[in-house]
Amino acid sequence: MRKLLWLAVVLACILLPLGAYVRLSQAGLGCPDWPGCFGQLSPAQAAQDIAHAMRLQADGPVSTDKAWKEMAHRYLAGGLGLLLLAYCWQAWRTRQQLFAASGLLVLLLLQAMLGMLTVTLQLRPLIVASHLLLGMCLFALLCSTASARYWPSQAVAPSHWRLAALLLLVLAGQIALGGWMAANQAALACQGFPRCNGDWWPAMQLSAAWPGWQGADQQHATLPLTALVAVHWLHRVGAALLSGLLLLTLWRLWSYPSLRRQLCLLGLLAGLQLLLGMANVLLQRPLPIALAHHVLAMLLLATVWTLLCRLHARAARHVSAMVQQAGRRPSTWLGKGIGPHPH
């Protein structure tokens, strides 16, 4: 089961960036049907249909190159699905890790459904953003399940657990907002940094930024420019709020020695993500930097989720008693991974 999990993690590390590459290279409709390509198993078998589509619209969403990108993503997604089904079968057969296996199976089925709808509904922004966020949640659950034996649990005060949970929720919201921005192609709606189009508070239309179901084709977004600016600006504001909450979380949890390595990793990933976000705007979103920004978001969500899974809240009085006992017998609390509490 461990081998299946780690193989699934490795495959997901390839699959999610590949999905981002398909989207960023405008290949999401390289094969306009699902699950095959023009009803065939591969673009090679659908060469005539692809050539016909290219004759009708030379600069359209269908081309041989785009079709292979899209189908490569589907092949890897199918491989990941088979690995997770094998893991779930082993979990049910051995009665081990049933909760994690059930969660992975539910996310897998939902993700497959969203992948189908992404194509059949012609890249609806709501579906694209949901597909992105759910894929990252699937990766986070995979990482936390596979690495559970390597990270000891840690008793913390309830307020510290709530702070970590809030960080996870805000991070998921920020990723969803980034997915909505990417799906509506609003990444370059704000020029310049830290100002947006030369203003600290640019002209924008928040009410038009959430039309919900309307679509965007491969060449341009259907939202008005003021709405695109609003989506982009909200993503920047969310990044600032998330950074402040992250610093507060790092400061409050630093008092637990067993968490410090993971906190250092979290801080490093967050710092790199901020730099990549700024570089995306200043350098006009080059493909490698945009792809790296996506990968860092995926790793951030997995790190925060894994951190939260390690924590279990205890009453403040109980944690203080453990800390006092740790002060009298250092070897005991070091062996159990129980860190001192600031209160």
- Which of these is catalytic: 40, 68, 70, 341? 70
| Phi-psi map region of 212: left, alpha, beta (phi>0 left; psi -120 to 50 alpha) | left
Q: For residue 176, how many C-alpha atoms fall within 13 Å in the half-sphere facing its CB?
A: 12
**Catalytic (active site) residue 127:** no
3-state helix, strand, coil in the chain (%, to 5): 70, 5, 25
Kindly list the distances between the CA atom of residue 101 and the CA atoms of 5, 82, 307, 335, in Å, as whole numbers in the listed order.
10, 13, 19, 30
Give backbone dihedrals phi and psi of 180, rounded to 5 degrees, phi first: -65, -40
- Please, what is the Cα angle at 56 between 51 and 61, to 5 degrees? 75
Which residues, 6+ apart, have CB-to-CB distance to 197 below 8 Å?
A: 190, 191, 203, 229
- Please, what is the Cα angle at 177 between 173 and 178, to 5 degrees? 115
Is 331 within 8 Å of 313 (Cβ atoms)? no
Which residues, 6+ apart, have CB-to-CB distance to 75 below 8 Å?
A: none
Report which of 99, 93, 111 is spatially closest to residue 12, judged by C-alpha positions: 111
* Residue 325 in tokens: 């006992």
Residues marked as catalytic: 70
